[in-house]
Structure 1
Amino acid sequence: MNIVLLDPRQTESELWSISSTRQLAHLQQHLDIQVGDTLKVGIREGKRYLTEIIEITEKTVRLKPLKEEAVPAKLPVTLIVALPRPKVLRRLIMDAVTVGVEKIILMHSYRVDKSYWQTPFLQQLEHYIELGLEQAGDTIAPKVELYKRFKPFVEDILPGLISADCPAYVAHPYAEMRMPAAIQHPCSIVIGPEGGFIPYEVDLLIHNGCQAVSLGNRIIRTETVIPYVLGRLFSL
């Protein structure tokens, strides 16, 4: 935890308070906080501050804001991913939030097991988003959208995300064109399931405005390819 995220309601008085059991346990067990220490604090969907610890009790830590700090900038990217296995989903969400993805779309595809849509992890996305924000020192959560039908999403929603100034790249190991690097414009990135998109899906994505691009002939795991692609495109 590199920043403590607070609900705006926790910062309405002169002294701010941390009362989350999880956050208090982390601060006491891993940081061994003391009165007078400084602590980085962010207000959800708002600003970030350096604060001073004024009081520590069993159930609350009270803080005084000292100065405002810069919130990390977002990457101008919409990450579109075929819903992965539940355990991969947890890591994927946290990593995408940590590197600053602006918007995340989870969608269905032929090789996505329909049972994945029943996983409890989908009900816990907010928790994993918060963990990613705390890791990155960020306060602004990405927008997250879910689409359980591939064809309607690709035909009705995806074209509205694509323009001359904001292309969409579908990562496909058999594409002839190499994925661009160090771009200076926003984009969307489409990542398939572990087994890859079937040919019909790739064709439909291309027909609706995506550019099929390759990272080489290696088949890379979903949770590995996403930071790799983001680092390549935006020179992280």
Structure 2
Amino acid sequence: MNLILLYTSDFIDPHLVRIGDRRFQHMRSVHQAAVGETFKVGVLNGLIGQGRVTAMTDDWIELRIRLNQAPPPPLPLSLVMALPRPKMLKRTLETLATLGVKDLWLINSYRVDKSYWSTPILRPEKTLEHLLLGLEQAGDTRLPRVHLRKRFKPFVEDELPAIARHTRALVAHPYQAAPCPAPSAAPTTLAIGPEGGFIPYEVEKLQAAGLDPIHLGPRILRVETAVPVLLSRLFPLTF
């Protein structure tokens, strides 16, 4: 936990917070928090700063906070991803939040098993849990927006063209594709398929929506590996 995320419910006055949940347990057991120590804190969807421990019991910790910094800049990216299998979805949500993705569309695909849509991880509270872990790791406060689209064709035909318009629009596809372009800070739309990739029909539909196929080379990567590799290749290190 590289940032203590604070919520509106934590505030007992404008500059004082009291925490008694897993964040407190982590601060006490891992960081060995003591009165007078300072920690990096940030308000969800707000500023970042410092929190000084002013009091602590066996049940809670109080911090006096000073917020004076903006969170890290988000990636200029709209990410469209075929819904991964549940075990991978947890890690992917945390990774995307850590890397600065703020707009994520999880979509259906021919190779997405129907059972994946029933996973408890897609419940808002569970999705939020994994996104918050990613933000804490990155030292970020801006919560990503996650959109669920269970029907491939309506999304790609009716919504995706507007999302991709005026952006560098790409679909990661290992076959009959151009090499990954150079890093750029330009607004980007990126589609990533499931394990096994998009089927030809889906690639054609994505191309019709304005997305150009790209590849990372001769190696075929798992989705959880392809995501950070693609983002590191597409955007400058300053992000």
TM-score range, shorter chain: over 0.9
Distance apart, 1:53 and its partner CA: 0.6
What is the deviation of 1:225? 0.3
Cα offset, 1:119, TM superposition: 0.5
Match of 1:235 in 2: 236
Partner of 1:68: 68
Q: CA deviation at 1:235?
A: 2.7
Q: Which residue of 2 aligns with 1:112?
A: 112
Deviations 1:1-52 (Å, cap 9, x if unpaired)? 0111111232350452242421111111110000000011111111111121
Q: Single out whichever of 11-20 and 95-104 deviates more from structure 2.
A: 11-20
Structure 1 residue 177: deviation in Å?
1.2
Aligned-partner residue type, residue 205 of structure 2:
L
Retained in 1: the 8 A contact 2:38–2:50?
Answer: yes
Name the TM-score, length of structure 2 as normaliser.
Answer: 0.94
Moved more, 37-46 or 19-28: 19-28
What is the alpha-carbon distance in structure 2 between the residues aligned to residue 88 and residue 76 of structure 1?
A: 24
For residue 106 of structure 2, give the secondary structure of its aligned residue in structure 1: strand
Distance 1:66 1:19, change over 3 A: closer
Calculate percent identity across the aligned residue pairs: 44
In 2 relative to 1, CA 163–14 (structure 1 residues): closer, same or farther, beyond 3 Å?
closer
Write the distance in 1 (CA, Å) between the matches of 2:79 and 2:20: 30
Match in the other structure for 1:127: 129
Give the aligned length: 235
> Which of the numbers 115, 136, 139 marks the counterpart of 1:137?
139
Distance 1:20 1:149 in 2: 41
Task: State the secondary structure of the residue aligned to 1:101.
Answer: coil
1:55 maps to which residue?
Answer: 55
- 1 CA distance for matches of 2:90 and 2:107? 15
Task: Give me the whole-angstrom Cα distance separating, in 2, the residues matched to 1:74 and 1:67.
Answer: 19
1:181 aligns with 2:188: no
Instruction: Tell me if 1:91 matches 2:91.
Output: yes
**1:5 matched residue in structure 2:** 5
Quote the residue 2:21 is aligned against: 21
RMSD of the TM alignment (CA)? 1.3
Rounded to whole Å, the distance in 2 between the matches of 1:196 and 1:18 is: 47
Structure 1 Cα separation of the partners of residues 176 and 98 of structure 2: 29
Tell me the TM-score normalised to structure 1 length. Answer: 0.96
CA contact (8 A) 1:80 1:104 kept: yes
The 5-angstrom pairing of residues 208-227 of structure 1 reads: 208-227=209-228
Task: Give, as a single letter, the amino acid of the residue that structure 2 aligns with 1:147.
Answer: R
Which secondary structure state, in structure 2, belongs to the residue aligned with residue 201 of structure 1?
helix
- Separation of aligned partners in 2, 1:202 and 1:20: 49
Q: Name stretches of at least 5 consecutive residues in structure 1 with no aligned partner.
A: none
Report if the CA contact (8 A) 2:185-2:236 is conserved. no
Distance in 2 (alpha carbons) for counterparts of 1:14 and 1:205 = 48
Q: Distance in 2 between matches of 1:103 and 1:80?
A: 9
